Amino acid sequence: MYEKIYWGHEPFCSLLTAVPELYNRTVTINGVSKAYAMTGWRIGYCGGPKELIAAMATIQGQSTSNASSISQKAAAAALNGDQSCVARMNHAFKERRDFVVRGLNALPGLSCLPGAGSFYAFADVSRAMASLGCRDDGEFAELLLNEAGVAVVPGAGFGAPGHMRLSFACSLQTLEAALERMARLLATRMVAA
C-alpha cells in the first residue's frame, strides 16, 4: 500500500522481489487509497496463484458489495495515468515528515525517528507519559485530544506501548498548529507534574 510513499536509501523491495521462489505461495495485495489519495473509494486489488485468486473472488463476490463503477474507472485512470502527481505528493509527504519529526523531537519527553515511508510519524512518548502521570499511551492520547485538540493513535494498538502515531497527511499549517498546541500543553502540564 505504501510502496510509492517511500524515501529509503535502498530501492523499495517487495517480498517477491526478494524471494521469487515464493511466487506460487504469495498473494500481493494493494490499493489506490494511499498512493493516489483515494481513501474512502475502497478500491483494492490483488495478484497471486490463479486458484487462490478465483476462490477469493468467489468469496468476495458473496460477502461484500462491489465498488461503484465510477470508483473503478477513477482507480484505473489513476493507475494507468501520468504518475507525476504521485512524485509531487511523495515530495510533499517527505517535507511534512521532516517537519513533524523535528517538531516532535523538540517537545519534552518525546523522541521520534524519521520513517522511510508512509505518512505517519511514530514517536516514543514514554518519558512524557511518566512525567505527566499517564497510565498508558491511551491516556496520553486522550490528554492530547481533550486538552490540545490533537488526535493521535496510541502505539499499543500497533504492539508498541508508550508510543503514538501521528498522521502528517494534512497541511503544514495544520501540523504546525498541532505541534504548537502540544508544546503548550506539555510545557504547562510537565512543569506542574
Tens of pLDDT, residue by residue over 86-110, are 899 999 999 999 999 999 999 999 9
pLDDT digits (tens, 9 = 90+) for 37-92: 888 888 888 889 999 899 888 887 677 677 888 999 999 999 999 999 889 999 99
Residue 121 reports pLDDT greater than 70: yes
Q: What was the pLDDT predicted at 77?
A: 93
Q: What was the pLDDT predicted at 192?
A: 58
Q: What CA–CA distance (Å, rounded) separates 74 from 165?
A: 30
Q: What was the pLDDT predicted at 171?
A: 95
Q: Which of 6-10, 36-40, 43-47, 121-125 has the highest mean pLDDT?
A: 121-125
Q: What is the residue type of 84?
A: S
What kind of architecture, by CATH, is found in domain 85-192?
Alpha-Beta Complex (3.90)
Residue 144 reports pLDDT greater than 60: yes
The structure's pTM equals 0.83
Specify the domain boundaries for CATH 3.90.1150.10 within the chain. Answer: 85-192
Residue 191 reports pLDDT greater than 70: no
On whether the CB atoms of residues 61 and 53 are closer than 8 A, the answer is no
Q: Give the total residue count for the chain.
A: 193
Q: What was the pLDDT predicted at 3?
A: 74
Q: Which residues contact 26 (CB under 8 A, 6 or more apart)?
A: 15, 16, 48
Higher pLDDT, 27 or 3: 27
Residue 145 reports pLDDT greater than 70: yes
pLDDT band at residue 148 using 50, 70 and 90 as cut-offs? very high
Helix (H/G/I), strand (E/B), else coil: 29: strand
Residue 193 reports pLDDT greater than 60: no
Please list the residues that pair with 124 across neighbouring strands: 111, 163
Q: What was the pLDDT predicted at 131?
A: 94
